[in-house]
Structure 1
Amino acid sequence: MAEPEIATKAPESDANEAPAPAAPAAQTLSDHCTSDRPAPVGVASTGETTKLAEVDVYISKPADYPHTPSKLLLLLTNGTGHKSINNQIQADRFASEGYVVVMPDLFEGDEAPNSKAIPDSPGTTDPPSFIDTFKIKAAETAKSFLIDMWLARHTEEKVMPILRKVIDAAKDEFADAISYGGGIYAVGYCFGGKYVLLLAAEKPVHAEGAGLTMPWSASSKPADEEASQPKTVGPYIKAGALAHATMVSKDDFVGLKAPVSVVSVENDPMFPDEVRMAGEDYMTKNNVEHEVQVYPGVPHGFAVVGEYEDEHIKSAQETAFEQMLKWIKEH
């Protein structure tokens, strides 16, 4: 396979510059974010679905845990969510490498509209009729509308509180794994990739999406209590890795503290070069340890478990997994 383009940045300066003001991220998802590829033949998921702090989670553990120490890993999914067999198999792969994997339901039971619901073109070699073409375009428009509505229901203000609840509960349930790893690790795919960045950052408590709920208003809070409140929150993770993230803006890199590894797709409209390069520039100038690998000739979503006929894509999928695994193991 063609080698991914690699741009590895070590900390180079202590500059404290922010990227230029960002245009809003495109509010859209790829079909690869909302539907699964065929699952690997003969492979079944081995973890369990349970609850942490009343949030549904899929948990996968190493076979010898807790007799052998393990680290804690959050896996943040694409739009198909924690019930997806492919996502569960992905979690199991990390568990087999020595991680207790917690994969939360980011969507409160409301997974993304499935792109496979779009009717296929009529099964004929003849060109589609005007009516057939109209039906296909109407279905595509309807799907786009449903996805836009779904995204409006699952914003940063909704997702971050879910993640904080899960993290707080995991600190009790898996205290041994967090202690052994010196913190929590995270990997994220598509929709979940953005939240790896947010969990890796230090943000002001008043920042949009920080989600800190104060017990009283600032005007009624005693002065000594107000002074004791933290001015920032995060980072929540020790290190993170993300693959073909979606819904990311340049501002999502602001405040990054934890080391991050980025799997990116060449010419990916879901994660534009402009956003990726602004992020790289910010991380370099702000002394954030990071690596970025750009994979050519693969579709958005390729790093998620799923079968492809193309050997190049299959090879790249394995390489991306090894990149992400190596990063969190080294940190």
Structure 2
Amino acid sequence: MSDSDLATRAPESDAQAADVSPRPAGTTSTAPANPGLGEHCTSDRPAPAGQASTGEITKLNDVDVYISKPADYPHAPARLLLLLTGGTGLHSVNNQIQADRFASEGYLVVMPDLFEGDPAPNSRAAAEIAAESTSGSLLDIFKVKAVEAAKTFLIDMWLARHTEEKVLPILHKVLEGARDEFADAVAHGGGVYAVGYCFGARYVLLLAAERPAAGGEQQGRQGDEEAGRPKADGPHIKAGALAHATLVSRNDFVGLKAPLSMVCVEDDPLFPDEVRIAGEDSMNEHGVEHEVQVYPGVPHGFAVVGEYEDANIKEAQATAFEQMLKWINEH
């Protein structure tokens, strides 16, 4: 097997099971203890033929963002949409085209750099590291094992650099800047909408939730005595849609308030059925408006812009976009 084969392996072949251990309600949300990312979370499919991005990269409240606007904005009103990417990040042409597609439907799209210029490493980077530690005389099977070990190491180190404690403050800065810079779009939509893919999908859940504010107990005693409960933070979005989430635990569904649409992959090890079903049960129990569609016969990551030869995957990709668009349009 060649290095190029490893760099283009199907995303479903790279799945790692996520921990789904519960934690007490009200505690700080954390990612699973044994998180994993698939190849599609870290590598782009070929870009759609003949398409290029049309927005621009700029700064918003000192955070790098990709901005895509409707053609007739600001002469015609738009609603503000936060788009949260997988590990390929801000400079991925596919992610930019994804933002442009929502912009063409009347949304002013803000796509932040969640990773501060440090997108996730992919199989090609792992192959380069493995090549430095193996000789040409070794059998291919040992080289494959070296690449897989290098990839796991790189992903683990990357995830350690981009934790919830690092990413959420970036999102709060972007939301603050967007509410100031694009106040007209926020007002027109009655709030901020959000869509997220892979890594970014989990953060749609977190932004859709109401959770205890920092120092909540003390604030509750001092500033919310009549209610007898701590002050809350969030939800930060009006409605959200997410596709093939990764790194999600059951407890990321705690405190959800904003309506949510979920695009899921059948038998997806990166978003196990146990987590999805527990999330659905929680939303049903707490009256959170939601919809869940499970797509069979597609790989994790299929909803992100990118070319596939399989006509069924192409059709599912278009259907998933329409599902997410319809949800935010109706909310």
Change (3 A) 1:85 1:284: same
Query: Which of structure 1's runs of 4+ aligned residues deviate more than 4 A?
Result: 223-230
Of the candidates 178, 183, 202, which is equivalent to residue 194 of structure 1? Answer: 202
In the other structure, the counterpart of 2:264 is 264
Q: Which amino acid aligns with 2:37?
A: L
5+ residue gaps, structure 1, are: 1-16, 121-127, 207-211
Structure 2 residue 32 is the aligned partner of structure 1 residue 24: yes
Q: Which amino acid aligns with 1:74?
A: L
Larger mean CA deviation between 66-75 and 133-142 belongs to 133-142
Of the candidates 108, 114, 123, which is equivalent to residue 106 of structure 1? Answer: 114
Aligned-pair CA distance for 1:249:
0.3
Q: Which amino acid aligns with 2:181?
A: E
1:64-83, Cα deviation, whole Å (9 max, x unpaired): 00000000000000000011
Structure 2 residue 167 is the aligned partner of structure 1 residue 167: no
Of the candidates 151, 163, 170, which is equivalent to residue 155 of structure 1? Answer: 163
Alignment of 1:177-326 (within 5 A): 177-206=185-214, 231-326=231-326
Query: Does the CA-based 8 Å contact 1:205-1:231 persist in structure 2?
Result: yes
Match of 2:263, SS state, is: strand
Identity of aligned residues (%): 72
Structure 2 residue 122 is the aligned partner of structure 1 residue 87: no
Q: Which amino acid aligns with 1:294?
A: V
In the other structure, the counterpart of 2:41 is 33
1:268-301, Cα deviation, whole Å (9 max, x unpaired): 0000000000000000010000000000000000
Aligned-pair CA distance for 1:114:
1.9
Structure 2 residue 58 is the aligned partner of structure 1 residue 47: no
Match of 1:261, SS state, is: strand
Aligned-pair CA distance for 1:132:
1.8
Aligned-pair CA distance for 1:135:
1.2
Once residues 137 and 300 of structure 2 are traced to their aligned partners in structure 1, the CA distance between those partners, rounded to angstroms, is: 31
Change (3 A) 1:88 1:22: closer
Once residues 259 and 224 of structure 2 are traced to their aligned partners in structure 1, the CA distance between those partners, rounded to angstroms, is: 31
| TM-score, structure 1 as length reference | 0.84
Match of 1:319, SS state, is: helix
Instruction: Say how many residue pairs are matched.
Output: 296
Query: Does the CA-based 8 Å contact 1:239-1:258 persist in structure 2?
Result: yes
Once residues 67 and 31 of structure 2 are traced to their aligned partners in structure 1, the CA distance between those partners, rounded to angstroms, is: 37
Q: Which amino acid aligns with 1:269?
A: P
Higher relative contact order (CA 8 A, sep 6+): 1
Q: Which amino acid aligns with 1:77?
A: T
5+ residue gaps, structure 2, are: 1-23, 129-135
Query: Does the CA-based 8 Å contact 1:30-1:300 persist in structure 2?
Result: yes
Aligned-pair CA distance for 1:115:
2.3
Query: Does the CA-based 8 Å contact 1:25-1:247 persist in structure 2?
Result: no
Change (3 A) 1:226 1:181: closer
Aligned-pair CA distance for 1:133:
1.2
Aligned-pair CA distance for 1:131:
2.1
Aligned-pair CA distance for 1:139:
1.1
Once residues 69 and 30 of structure 2 are traced to their aligned partners in structure 1, the CA distance between those partners, rounded to angstroms, is: 40
In the other structure, the counterpart of 1:133 is 141
Query: Does the CA-based 8 Å contact 1:189-1:242 persist in structure 2?
Result: yes
Q: Which amino acid aligns with 1:191?
A: F
Cα RMSD (Å) of the superposition? 2.6
Once residues 224 and 274 of structure 1 are traced to their aligned partners in structure 2, the CA distance between those partners, rounded to angstroms, is: 40
Aligned-pair CA distance for 1:26:
3.3
Aligned-pair CA distance for 1:201:
0.3
Change (3 A) 1:224 1:295: closer
In the other structure, the counterpart of 1:70 is 78
1:108-142, Cα deviation, whole Å (9 max, x unpaired): 1111002233549xxxxxxx986221112101110
Aligned-pair CA distance for 1:231:
1.2
